[in-house]
Amino acid sequence: MSNDNTQGNGKVALVTGAGTGIGRAVSLALLKEGYHVVLVGRRLEALEAVAAEAGTDCALPMSADVSQPESVQALFERVQQTCGRLDLLFNNAGVNAPKGKLEDISFADWQRVVDINLTGSFLCAQGAIRLMKSQTPQGGRIINNGSISAHAPRPDSAPYTATKHAITGLTKSISLDCRAYNIACGQIDIGNALTELSARMTKGVPQANGEIAVEPMMDVSEVAAAVVHMAALPLSTNVQFMTIMATKMPFVGRG
């Protein structure tokens, strides 16, 4: 991918967790809309597979560990050198801890979820903001993947739920602190999108009343379309928070 923007729509997007699931679907949708997309994840082979599936040289796989400051710094330096600018960051990388009672969760499991879900989003936002402030024209958009868990927890999910609630605070802080630089920040909260990682939910998941229930799912392409919609808005307009979910999932009145 070159920085002369002779292909596509001229806009550069960066998607974390791009090798699988929601990140993969969003990356492919952005590429279809003509974005240059930097595909970020820890496993380069998975990113290269997405780029091959897209069949365009507008996809650029870059391996990075978003939980490590040095890795994130090197990532954004490479983005600036290779692409010249950044118009969109989709902060999507995330992990969960093994299910367990709060008092039994190991510190290592807690720290891993915080490092990737929260610290990773913070570090990538920092890198994006620095680049977006310095480029001409100034500005850009950050979309954080919050999750339905930013509103209501599932049983035995304290690390994941805590980090997703924190993402909401990060989203609000970025929106407030970056107004002067023409940087818009919004959050998409996703419920029951069917991916290879969530397929287990089709066999039943624990409910608040202790039962195991199969929950309705939605096609992940609908999530990708929603992110593309948010990304396509002019910087004078922002979707601050969007909740997109399987219509019949137990969220409103969960449990």
Sequence-distant (≥ 6) Cβ neighbours of residue 103 within 8 angstroms: none
Token pair in block for residue 210: 């202790």
Token pair in block for residue 118: 């929260």
Q: Is the peptide bond before 206 cis (omega within 30 degrees of 0)?
A: no
Rg (CA), the chain: 18
Find the catalytic residue in 88, 160, 226, 246: 160
181 is catalytic: no
CA–CA separation, 222 and 234 (whole Å): 21
Helix axis angle, 120-134 to 158-177, nearest 10°:
20
CA–CA separation, 192 and 222 (whole Å): 11
CA–CA separation, 4 and 142 (whole Å): 23
CA–CA separation, 37 and 135 (whole Å): 18
Do you know the residue count of the chain? 255
Token pair in block for residue 253: 């009145």
Q: Are 1 and 57 in contact (CB under 8 A)?
A: yes
Beta-sheet strands, E only, within 10-92: 12-16, 36-41, 59-63, 88-91
Residues with active-site annotation: 160
